[in-house]
Amino acid sequence: MTQARIAVIADAAVPGLAGTVVAPSEVTAARFHPDRDAWSLTTAAGETDYDLLVVSGARLPITVPALDPRVSPPATVGPDDADRAYLGMLIDGVPNLVLMGTAERALQLTTLQAWLRWAYAEGATRMLSRTPVTARWIGKGRRTPSRPDRDAIDLSNEHVRDEGVYAGVAILRSGEYEATSPVRLAGHLEPLDGKYHWYGTVDDLEIGAALKKMPRGSVTVSVGGGTDAPALVTDKTVWGTYRLVGVGAPPFPL
């Protein structure tokens, strides 16, 4: 997000956060546009686009299309949603919108600044929570990590998504073992060897752990009835998911 346009939906400015302050009572509509990864806010003055909304101490009606088949976006967001939002900030299925509380505001500002730095460095235009990470964080008692974790959030842009990112269900096999799990897979053509390298995560923790124990080289991945693609289960992420890597034709369509 180069020079991100930030709207702060609050009755007053949030210390330490630069952005255009918009009173909640002035907003008549807030809609996310996936074709340009931007929010349009409608007020009496007209419609204005922003890259990021920071909602502090207010409830905001929103319109968001379903971007992940596993998640139904809410119709409103506000302080009561913090308990189900990753770090009390990112709500599953709601891109480019951050909740900002008061109890841990300094830590939340530090975290948001890290996210924005990563987005800028990667040319990302969309910021999303990762549903399995949110569930893991809640399941572990909502403990705050010692520092922001890049792997915990999903940053992307139109180019990356068009290059082939698959988020959905896959069938994973090894010998007689077969299981279905949500996965997130991406890849790129490596010019050094001329081969397609793909990678991603198995989001079901139990299935990932079972696959990790299988003989090396025995795991395959398939999507939508397609061909089985050989894969390696390499390591466990800090959130308990397991990484997959493969070389050659990926299991997802390009």
Q: Which residue has the higher pLDDT, 243 or 91?
A: 91
Burial (CB count within 10 angstroms: exposed 0-12, middle 13-18, buried 19+), residue 65: exposed
* More reliable by pLDDT, 111 or 147: 111
SS3 at position 100: strand
Least confident range of 14-23, 112-121, 148-157, 233-242? 233-242
pLDDT of amino acid 237: 72
Query: DSSP string of 132-175?
Result: HHHHHHHHTT-PPPSS--GGGEEEE-HHHHHTT-EEEEEEEEET
Token pair listed for 166: 């698959």
CATH code of the domain occupying 163-247: 2.40.10
- Cβ neighbours for 223, distance < 8 A, ≥ 6 positions apart: 166, 168, 169, 170, 171, 251, 252, 253
pLDDT digits (tens, 9 = 90+) for 159-205: 555 555 787 899 999 999 999 998 888 887 777 788 888 888 898 88
Q: Tell me if 201 sits within 8 A of 242, measured CB to CB.
A: yes
Amino acid identity of 137?
W
Cα separation, 132 vs 74, whole angstroms? 18
Pairing relation of β-strands 52-56 and 97-100? parallel
Report the distance separating Cα 157 and Cα 122, nearest Å. Answer: 9
Q: pLDDT tens across 69-126, in order?
A: 678 899 999 999 999 999 999 999 999 999 998 878 899 999 999 999 998 887 889 9
Q: Average pLDDT for residues 9-14, to the nearest whole number?
A: 94
Summarised one tens digit per residue, pLDDT across range 216-234 is 899 999 998 889 999 999 8
Exposed/middle/buried for 180, CB within 10 Å: 0-12, 13-18, 19+? exposed
Query: Are 10 and 25 in contact, with CB atoms under 8 Å apart?
Result: no
Pairing type for strands 195-202 and 219-222 reads unpaired
Q: Where are the domains of the chain?
A: 6-149, 163-247
Residue 130 — pLDDT band, cuts 50, 70, 90? confident
Cβ within 8 Å of residue 2, ≥6 positions away:
120, 123
Residue 35 confidence (pLDDT): 87
Model confidence, pTM: 0.68
The Cα diameter of the chain in Å comes to: 63
